[in-house]
Amino acid sequence: METARTHRRSILLLCGDYMEDYEAMVAFQALQAFGLSVHAVCPGKTVGEFCRTAIHGLSGSHPINYYERIGHKFTLNAAFDEIEWSQYEGLVIPGGRAPEYLAVNASVVNLVRKFSTSGKPMAAICHGSLVLAAADAVRGRKCTAYPGVRHVLKDAGAIWVEPKSLADCVADGNVVTGVTYFGNPEFIRLFVAALGGTISGATNKRILLLCGDHMEDYEVTVPFHTLEALGCLVDAVCPYKKKGETCLTVVHDWEEGSQTYSEKIGQHFTLTADFNSISNSKYDALVIPGGRAPEVLALEGGVVAIVKEFMGANKPVGSIGHGAQILAAAGVLKGRKCTGHPAVKLDIGLAGASWLEPAHVDRSFTDGNLVTAASWSAHPHFLAELMGLLGIHVSFN
């Protein structure tokens, strides 16, 4: 694992059990794709242990009521008790229920105070602002958050900015705050700017995302939010569905003693365009998430035609996990080198491709215009490779 001392810029991600799923993983993987080293830590836990995430979605009659489901197991890559805060350039605090107890942990509060007094960038989303409030890091600063914590931030001396939507974000000096994961793209973009980062090459880039019911939760949302954070226009489409309709995602994870991955219900992912009205020529790249959706999408003539057109035009195409099933069905893999989830090794081989064994699940492979990854664990490398093909760069002063 890369250490803070050997990387030009390192970020600390403050984790806890039942932190919100997207608010932890999207920032964690997007920032790595942008070339930063991100260390995820949790009090009382060490490297290789995990925090259980929580999936929050809107429900009930009140506009900000939410349900909670158990999400992924988020693996920590650094030990809280061993970190040296001065080695990090910035701090990110996800929301969910974790901040409620992190905010009363003396070691956590002391750590956040050090970041605050040093003037280093701090970004907190949703309930994550509770930790900033506990560390007296919001006094006199414009902040927003999930509306349920408004009174706490006001009592902590913050200048409350009432959100107009659940995607709103606010930056005031070194403090970036967001309402919920709906605002992940802007939240990440503001944090990158606070770190002195500059994004180039993304203007007018349009990406098409092929979706379907039971696609893997991370494998659609992390690329979607990351590419939007870069400034790309991303259209998510699904056969037989229209803009504003949703696809149900699934959470795929590994449980101890199991021979294959487990599956839990994920989020309702909202589509941003009509499948039947898209024009492939307007898009610069295609991304195919994994999960169980590709098995069904591979049977759709319209989906296969899209893949053939992008591959024939030599435009960047990215496939994650089981997404390679669609590539195989489209007959575009002959003579190519690629990978995917181990369960699709047979599909890829029979389609005429050379299988690349994903010895390290956090890596992806690039063969010409094609980028393939075994699972969501490879997102940072996968997205960085896709960015390279698109000519998108993130640089830091």
Six token digits for residue 384 = 């960085």
Cα 182 to chain centroid distance, Å, stands at 11
- Going from the C-alpha of 360 to that of each of 37, 48, 130, 249, 369, the distances in angstroms are 18, 15, 37, 25, 21
E-assigned strand segments in 7-101: 10-14, 19-20, 37-41, 50-58, 66-75, 90-93
The span from the CA of 358 to the CA of 124, in Å, is 34
Can you tell me which residue has the tokens 């942008």? 34
Residue 127 annotated to the active site = yes
Asked whether the CA dihedral 312, 374, 358, 371 is positive or negative, the reply is: positive
Q: Which of 127, 322, 341, 381 is catalytic?
A: 127
- Which residue in 51, 126, 143, 169 is the catalytic one? 126
Residue pair 370/353 in contact by the 8 Å Cβ criterion = no
Closest CA to 357 of 376, 338, 343, 371: 338
Residues sharing a CB contact under 8 Å with residue 60, sequence separation 6 or more, in sequence order: 66, 67
Ramachandran area for residue 311 (φ above 0: left; ψ -120 to 50: alpha; else beta): alpha
100, 187, 242, 284, 287 from 332: Cα distances, Å: 50, 37, 27, 18, 15
Rg (CA), the chain: 21
* Strand blocks (E) in 103-229: 122-125, 142-143, 159-160, 169-172, 175-178, 197-200, 206-210, 215-216
Residue in the block written with tokens 């492979």? 365
**Phi, psi at 374, each rounded to 5°:** -80, -35
Task: Show the tokens assigned to 294.
Answer: 């590709």
The residues, ordered by sequence, that sit 6+ positions from 142 with a Cβ below 8 Å of its Cβ are 158, 159, 161, 170, 172
Q: How far is CA 349 from the centre of its chain?
A: 30
The catalytic site residues sit at: 126-127
